[in-house]
Chains A and B, each alone.
Chain A
């Protein structure tokens, strides 16, 4: 298997929670930034409430939390460029691609499922 010879693994991080309320998204992002240094084939899928992580205009001043939506904008600097967003999750929340802080690929749930099936590792956050 070619991918084993080069030892580059396909690793998908799955953002499933709203960005605030729990720490899952923030610590997930920390994990992504570290893993990005290991030259693996990294992607991120945003599904369910996970899509809110990318929403423009977040103001976290009132909850004493450092906002981190901007960090998602910096990911291409770490060569993490594959950002997938579930179309149904966006639509259910009244959001469109224009509401998001970064350029993403909006895919159907089926397409995201197919991509998950191609991964060596899937890390839910």
Chain B
């Protein structure tokens, strides 16, 4: 098992390879703290998850906190030539069994509830994030 530890809250092309080119299967939790479109964090977290899965690693869950909870609002309707960030998370959940979880306290503040939640998404408590932090080799945070 790799040494646990702090990686980075920011990310770049080389960052993904820092964690996933280690020759062992790594269990990864992701914490995403920014909303879609306004900030790159959501895109980078998604690309990171994709790259990790492609390398054979296990992405256990994406936990959404702060404005990150708005990533799972199915009402978003971007122009057709743009990426649909909510659908993308839904697809990741369905195709790869990644849990996509929004913090309930943060969701309530921002009007996110089960009625507008993407398929595959779930609203849950911070205790779940604690479990994710405990059970994975790495918890990687994306956000400011």
Contact = CB atoms under 8 A, between A and B. Distances in A.
B5 interface: yes
Contacts of A124: 9, 141, 143
Given A9-B133, A31-B65, A117-B6, A123 B127 contact: no
Interface size grouping (class) on chain B: 20 to 34
Contacts of A121: 4, 133, 139
Contacts of A74: none
B9 A38 contact: no
B129 A31 contact: yes
Interface of A: 7, 9, 11-12, 23-24, 27, 30-31, 34-35, 37-38, 40, 116-117, 119-124
Interface of B: 4-6, 9, 31, 33, 65-66, 105-106, 125-127, 129-130, 133-134, 139, 141, 143-144
13 contacts: A9-B133, A27-B66, A27-B105, A30-B105, A34-B130, A38-B134, A40-B130, A117-B5, A119-B6, A120-B4, A121-B4, A123-B139, A124-B141
